[in-house]
Amino acid sequence: MVSLGVHHSYGFVGLGAMGYWASGSSTLSMAKNLRAKSSPTIKLYVYDIASTRADQLAAESEPANGHIVKCMSVAEVVQNSDVIFTIVPEGKHVLQVFSQTNNGALSVTDISGKLFIDCSTIDVSTSQTVARAVAERGADFFDAPVSGGTVGALEGTITFMLGTSPDHPRHNEILPILQTMGNKVFACGAPTLGLAAKLCNNYISGNIAIATAEGMNLGMKLGLNPKTLSDVVAVSTGGSWVNQSCNPVPGVVPKAPASNNYEPGFKVELMLKDYNLAV
């Protein structure tokens, strides 16, 4: 049993996609920031189905002094951690993380008092199902999807959309942990409302990305220099984060995926998933 508010170890399940993008990884960066900005005595237990990602995390987090521990299963992470982060691609993967016989989070005998924070972008129904199962075992589960992309994860400036009220007894316990990885945490009011906020945001930003790509293409066909057009849009009514940080034309924004052989970046398949979840 974990004493509420007293943390000796953190866990991280899922080092892919927003968790870990190969060259400038996102979840790798989240996990690195969590470890680097936490008490030096706290250990970080990690697991991913691609075991080499955990090795890379440990190698790139030196000097970690043995405080990053590669685990062989989700259950091993949960067994050893007081606070467990999960970040996987889809709802079916979240269900597997928690429900898999023998190796899932809920296969651990005693999880009472543990804090589970799911940063995955998934359907509301799955999140509710997992939250109920966790609560029945005496632990707490919160949805806390993130936004900010690769650069935000690297710089520790991502945004968390937390599915709870500021009045929840564990809100002030969660807040400083999330602030090791991001600079904005919004308590969205109740369970699954963090997911609701994330899906609304991605629906809006996806439409902006499409419009930005079409507008840039139109401008270039009309003879405009793409950098000039981007600069004009940035200070006009068409300005957006997409234009300034993730412009789709190679060379316009040096750190954008388009300027780096389209990686690292947010996969089209994941954007389609988010659209489907939103509508």
Can you give 143-201 as a three-state secondary structure string? ECCEECHHHHHHHCCEEEEECCCCCCCCHHHHHHHHCCCEEEEEECCCCCHHHHHHHHH
In the chain, which residues fall in CATH 1.10.1040.10? 197-278
Return per-residue pLDDT of the chain as tens, 279 residues.
545 456 789 999 998 644 433 333 577 789 989 988 888 889 999 999 888 888 888 887 766 556 899 999 999 999 999 999 999 989 999 999 999 988 999 999 999 999 999 999 999 999 999 999 999 999 999 999 999 877 788 888 899 999 999 999 999 999 999 999 999 999 999 999 999 999 999 999 999 999 999 999 999 999 999 999 999 999 999 999 999 989 999 999 998 889 998 876 677 887 888 889 988
CATH of segment(s) 197-278: 1.10.1040.10
Q: Catalytic: which of 92, 198, 227, 267?
A: 198
Q: 3-class DSSP state for residue 251?
A: coil
Full DSSP string of 91-131? HHHHHHHHH-TTTSGGGSS--TT-EEEE-----HHHHHHHH
What's the pTM? 0.88
Active site residue 198: yes
At 129 the pLDDT is 97
- In this structure, whether the domain defined by 9-190 belongs to CATH 3.30.465.10 is answered with no
Cite the residue boundaries of each domain of the chain with CATH code 3.40.50.720: 9-190
